[in-house]
């Protein structure tokens, strides 16, 4: 018996979920096997080509996980068709009682970020800290470290900031000294 709520619970839940897929692989379609690789602790983030594929995958996932004693809940989707196919009790509270026909879908949290369901976008807010003088190495690190991007969507942009930071580290300047003029322009 395992009591959930301890610091080890996410790893136990992940193990139990993966074990369910493994134990039921003989009845598990290929697309469900692929989907199980897209669970992040207890969140599933996956993209499908059509609402029909999404509905079929949701049904298959619910069936396979039920064989392991799981009941998938808090379903959120940017397709109103997919949401309608999921019983109201299984939907996330923000879309549980929504008038799917008339009301726009809300923004939800997904993997530590916001997901605008209606626009199917994950907006990112980066706070550039205002300071009175020049930009310092400390300022660079503060901004770079404040970006939470578990899926790496922002990596092509953040890498430029990290290169600037790396160049300033190689110059062996202090944390509160101004960065070079050329790097400040790039920043």
Task: Express as a percent the part of the chain with pLDDT over 70.
Answer: 88
Angle of helix 51-67 relative to helix 9-23, nearest 10 degrees? Answer: 100
CA separation (Å) from 144 to 52, 82, 111, 165, 176? Answer: 40, 37, 19, 9, 16
21-50 tens-digit pLDDT? 888 888 877 777 777 788 877 778 888 889
Name the more confident of 98 and 92.
92
Read off the pTM: 0.65
133-153 tens-digit pLDDT? 788 999 999 889 888 887 788
Among the listed residues 1, 60, 59, the one whose alpha carbon sits nearest the alpha carbon of residue 25: 60
pLDDT of residue 165: 94
């Amino acid at each position: 018996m395992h009591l959930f709520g301890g610091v080890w619970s996410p790893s136990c839940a992940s193990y139990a979920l993966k074990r369910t897929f493994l134990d039921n692989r003989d009845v598990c379609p290929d697309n469900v096997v692929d989907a199980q690789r897209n669970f992040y602790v207890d969140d599933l983030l996956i993209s499908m080509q059509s609402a029909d594929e999404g509905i079929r995958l949701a049904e298959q996932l619910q069936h396979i996980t039920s064989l392991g004693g799981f009941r998938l809940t808090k379903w959120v989707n940017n397709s109103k068709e997919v949401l309608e196919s999921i019983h109201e009790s299984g939907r996330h509270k923000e879309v549980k009682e929504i008038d799917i026909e008339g009301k726009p879908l809300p923004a939800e949290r997904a993997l530590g970020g916001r997901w605008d369901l209606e626009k199917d976008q994950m907006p990112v807010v980066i706070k550039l800290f205002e300071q009175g003088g020049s930009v310092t190495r400390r300022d660079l690190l503060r901004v770079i470290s404040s970006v939470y991007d578990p899926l790496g969507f922002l990596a092509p942009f953040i890498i430029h900031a990290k290169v600037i930071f790396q160049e300033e580290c190689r110059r062996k300047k202090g944390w509160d000294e101004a960065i070079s003029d050329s790097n400040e322009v790039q920043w």
